[in-house]
């Protein structure tokens, strides 16, 4: 039988890591995710060859794991006159003999180069396709000679699903009301903005008037435009809502003027 009530009582142990991985991927994402919990895996160099990773919670290909007390890993010494990038990863492994699984922190060492450092290759492996090893990159540790540089974060922490997000109003010329919600890997922002102080006069298409700033760590993965509506005479497609990076803006589709007291409202989906 191929139908299973995964969370139901079956009279015998039946919930596998594969069950949970399938359901988590379907609900949230096939991508690896670091959640905004604990220290969100904050990385610090306690010495020139010792990196400490703080507490955090994450999902690797749908399998949840966490660190409840800081862990340390060793960074190999650099070489005079050579540059190198090492990558700290979460390493998933399944023992092929007994099926036992674990996650541990490992360091993938880059190849030294006299001019430019490159990241080491991250081994690929799909757990649900039978791979016994998978890697989730967390931090890049750059080395220049024997000097260790500042760790570079390779992930964006996700805040709890369905939580609201507080946005920073970035333009005093707009009085804005808004609501936000998370749906999977998307942030939905609905807004109503009234123009204050001065008219907004765009002399051509693609002129921008900022509305919000997204919190750090919630940058849009790519630029998105959505139509907005207004009580002005600019027409249905005269104004669009745009998200790019940490910004949510209004953007003109044509030459137009929206007078003081005019309003714009819309909804935009921010891919994270």
48/149 Cα distance (integer angstroms): 9
Confidence of residue 217 (pLDDT cuts 50, 70, 90): low
Residue bearing tokens 């907005």: 228
Hey, CA dihedral for 172, 173, 178, 182, is it positive or negative? negative
End-to-end CA distance of the chain: 37
Overall size of the chain counted in residues: 272
Residue 162 pLDDT > 80:
no
148/103 Cα distance (integer angstroms): 26
Residue bearing tokens 């604990």: 38
DSSP string, 137-154: EEEEEEEETTEE---EE-
249/120 Cα distance (integer angstroms): 38
The pLDDT score that the predictor gives to residue 215 is: 80
Q: Which residues, in sequence order, are CB contacts of 36 under 8 Å at separation 6+?
A: 157, 158, 159, 160, 217
Confidence of residue 235 (pLDDT cuts 50, 70, 90): low
pLDDT digits (tens, 9 = 90+) for 35-84: 888 999 999 998 889 999 999 999 999 999 999 999 999 999 999 999 99
Helix, strand or coil, per DSSP, at residue 207: coil
Provide the mean pLDDT of the chain: 89
The CA-CA-CA angle for residues 157, 161, 167, to 5°, reads: 70
DSSP string, 64-131: EEEESS-EEEEPPP--TT-EEEEEEEEEEEE-TTT--EEEEEEEEPPPPBSS---PPPPPP--GGGT-
Q: Percentage of the chain with pLDDT > 90?
A: 59
63/136 Cα distance (integer angstroms): 11
Please answer whether residues 94 and 160 qualify as being in contact, where contact means their C-beta atoms are separated by less than 8 angstroms: no
More confident residue, 170 or 145: 145
Q: Which residues, in sequence order, are CB contacts of 47 under 8 Å at separation 6+?
A: none
Confidence of residue 94 (pLDDT cuts 50, 70, 90): very high
């Amino acid at each position: 039988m191929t139908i299973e009530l995964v969370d139901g009582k079956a009279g015998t142990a039946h919930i596998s890591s594969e069950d949970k991985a399938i359901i988590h991927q379907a609900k949230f994402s096939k991508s690896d995710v670091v959640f905004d919990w604990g220290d969100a895996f904050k990385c610090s160099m306690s010495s020139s060859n010792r990196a400490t990773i703080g507490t955090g919670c994450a999902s690797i290909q749908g399998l949840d794991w966490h660190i409840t007390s800081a862990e340390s890993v060793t960074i190999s010494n650099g070489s005079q006159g050579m540059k190198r990038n090492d990558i700290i990863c979460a390493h998933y492994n399944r023992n092929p003999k007994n099926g036992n699984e674990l996650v541990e922190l490992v360091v993938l060492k880059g190849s030294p180069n006299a001019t430019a450092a490159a990241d080491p290759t991250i081994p690929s492996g799909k757990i649900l396709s039978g791979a016994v090893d998978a890697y989730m990159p967390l931090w890049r540790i750059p080395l220049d000679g024997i000097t260790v540089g500042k760790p570079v974060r390779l992930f964006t922490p996700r805040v709890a699903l369905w939580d609201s997000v507080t946005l920073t109003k970035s333009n005093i010329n707009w009085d804005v009301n808004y609501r936000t919600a998370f749906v999977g890997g998307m942030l939905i922002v609905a807004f109503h903005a009234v123009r204050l102080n001065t008219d907004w006069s765009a002399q051509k298409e693609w002129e921008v008037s900022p509305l919000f700033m997204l919190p750090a760590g919630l940058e849009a993965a790519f630029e998105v435009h959505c139509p907005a509506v207004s009580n002005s005479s600019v027409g249905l497609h005269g104004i669009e809502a745009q998200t790019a990076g940490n910004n949510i803006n209004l953007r003109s589709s044509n030459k137009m003027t929206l007078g003081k007291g005019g309003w714009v409202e819309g909804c935009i989906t921010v891919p994270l």
